[in-house]
Amino acid sequence: MFTDVVKISVRAGNGGNGAVSFHREKYVSAGGPDGGDGGKGGDIIFVADDNLSTLIDFRFKKKFAAENGQNGGANRKTGKSAPNVVIKVPRGTLVKDDRADRLIADISGDEPVIIAKGGKGGKGNARFATPTRQVPRFSKPGFPGEVFDVTLELKLLADVGLVGFPNVGKSSLISVVSAAKPQIANYHFTTLTPVLGVVKSGESSFVMADIPGLIEGASEGAGLGHDFLRHVERCRLIVHVVDVSGSEGREPKDDFEKINLELCRFSADLANRPQTVAANKADIATKERIEEFREYVKNCRLSTVNRKLFVVSAATAQGTDELIGHIIGELAKLPPLKRYEPKPLTLAELDGTANGKRTFTVENPDKGYFAVNAPWLAPIIAAANMDDYESLQYLQRTLRSSGIIDALEEAGINEEDTVAIFDFEFTYVR
């Protein structure tokens, strides 16, 4: 089964917690704090693998999680960083973040791409020692790793895409000009999955893809075309294969118009993509039909594209050399394969900030009770040591500098009212 769209969950590892420790050694008095930092959590990394051609493996495994970093230890020992999780996908896979429905990576090159970043390790208490604070009894926990759902969408990397109605000879053509061996039979939808083949001519070569299932209404989901039209989007050149003989009882001119209309409905960019017409099955077509169709294509103005027609027969290899020579010449003039520019989340979106300020909300669901929602505050709350005066002072300064205290006062908070931030509750005192 050909699978080209799947949804999976990724979870990067959390950073290890910093340690609270004090040096103890015989004959060494007041050894001081020596708690080490936590290790970094593992990343989720995607890398292209040319041995894969489908996303079928992800139908059975949908959750990928990296390990957490180790906690820090005594004697300033830093915790071990967790290993990264490397996920192999077919080249040409798009990774979309479901949180904001945006593209975050196009796995088309050889370089690995970090999709979810592991959290940084927390700092041990040795980091907080100062001349005026010589015995810090608190540390910082590790930062959480990124956790979200992503959609993987495969868009095949091919220089040339063969489009056309079923049974017009696309599979036969690609089997003649390349080493690809698709299933070929005299019935519609013989080819159920895209087929890639490498075409070589002299010192030149290119990748050709047989895109199956295009019929009238394909752009709206009819047939198999809705599933596979996306694979044409990367193609630099479209080869439109038409049964010029009319052996299927259809009119070549109607087939030509309908397929181009579906390309236009699916994407305006596809409608204006360079296109070459292969009038196939010429060995069983009359000269009159061939010339009539040639004249039609010459005068057709369905778009701004100038289409050149080649009369071929995949069954006898007639005209295929001329077609391949023309394709090589056209590809030399065209830009490289299309790569999609990622649109990652902005720092403001990731950090919960807007206009340089951290965002939060204050709600007053019950009398005498106020709830603060500020996702960026979670690691700070987790790091607070309620038994340490300096740690509490740091938390108070954060609440004041971020504007949370001012917002509570504007919301009408009174002395002795309760404030809840996640699982942490305290009584407000002016």
- Is position 344 within any domain? no
As for how many domains the chain has, the answer is 3
pLDDT category of residue 95 using cuts at 50, 70 and 90: very high
Q: What is the mean pLDDT of residues 88-116?
A: 92
Q: Do 50 and 91 touch, CB atoms closer than 8 A? A: yes
Residues 182 and 243 placed together within one structural domain of the fold? yes
pLDDT given at position 332: 93
What are φ and ψ of residue 195, in 5° steps? -120, 130
Give a yes or no: residue 340 inside a domain.
no
pLDDT of residue 355: 47
Looking at 303, 333, 363, the residue that finishes a domain is 333
Task: Give yes or no: residues 182 and 222 share one domain.
Answer: yes
Token couple for 371 = 């709830």
Determine contact, residues 314/324, Cβ cutoff 8 Å.
Answer: no
Alpha helices by DSSP H, listed for 154-282, are 170-177, 225-228, 252-266, 268-271
Same domain, 169 and 316: yes
Residue 341, in any domain of the structure: no
What would the mean pLDDT of 163-169 be, rounded to a whole number? Answer: 86
Which strands, in side-by-side order, build the sheet including 93-97? 63-65, 5-11, 147-154, 93-97, 102-107
Check whether residue 229 and residue 307 sit in a common domain: yes
- Domain C-terminal end among 131, 154, 177: 154
Which of 45, 149, 117 is closest to 88 using CA atoms?
45
Single out the residue in 107, 134, 154 at which a domain terminates.
154
Asked if residue 190 and residue 89 are part of one domain, the reply reads no
Is residue 74 located within the same domain as residue 170? no
- The reply to whether 150 falls in a domain is yes
Q: Residue 348 falls within a domain, yes or no?
A: no
| Residue 197 CA: distances (Å) to CA of 90, 155, 281, 332 | 16, 15, 21, 19
Q: Is 293 helix (H, G, I), strand (E, B) or coil?
A: helix
Looking at the fold, whether 311 and 359 belong to one and the same domain comes out as no
Closest among 252, 251, 270, 250 to 260, alpha carbons compared: 270
pLDDT band at 220 (very low <50, low <70, confident <90, very high): low
Higher per-residue pLDDT: 320 or 1: 320
Same domain, 145 and 268: no
The secondary structure of residue 145, as a DSSP letter, is P
Instruction: Work out the pLDDT band at 243, boundaries 50, 70, 90.
Output: very high
Lowest mean pLDDT among 246-250, 302-306, 413-417: 302-306
**CA distances in angstroms from 426 to 370, 381, 383, 429, listed in the order given:** 10, 12, 16, 9
Q: Whole-model pTM?
A: 0.77
Task: Let me know whether 143 and 172 are in one domain.
Answer: no
Strand pairing report for 418-421 and 369-373: parallel
CB neighbour burial string for 108-120, b if at least 16 within 10 angstroms, e if fewer = beeeebebbbbbb
Quote the CA–CA distance of 400 and 381 in Å, as a whole number.
Answer: 14
CATH number for position 16: 2.70.210.12
Q: Are 89 and 47 in contact (CB under 8 A)?
A: yes
Task: Name the least confident of 142-146, 159-163, 229-233.
Answer: 229-233
Counting every residue written for the chain, the total comes to 430
Amino acid at 147: V
Q: What is the DSSP letter of 242?
A: E
pLDDT in tens, 39-87: 999 999 999 998 888 898 898 899 999 999 999 999 999 999 999 999 9
CATH number of the domain that 212 lies in?
A: 3.40.50.300
pLDDT value of residue 187:
47
**Domain shared by 182 and 328, yes or no:** yes
Tokens found for residue 118: 């592991």
Residues 73 and 95 occupy one common structural domain: yes
Contact between 104 and 97 (Cβ < 8 Å): yes
What stretch of H or E contains 348? helix 347-351
342, part of any domain: no
**Domain assignment of residue 413, given as a range:** 353-427
CATH code of 359's domain: 3.30.300.350
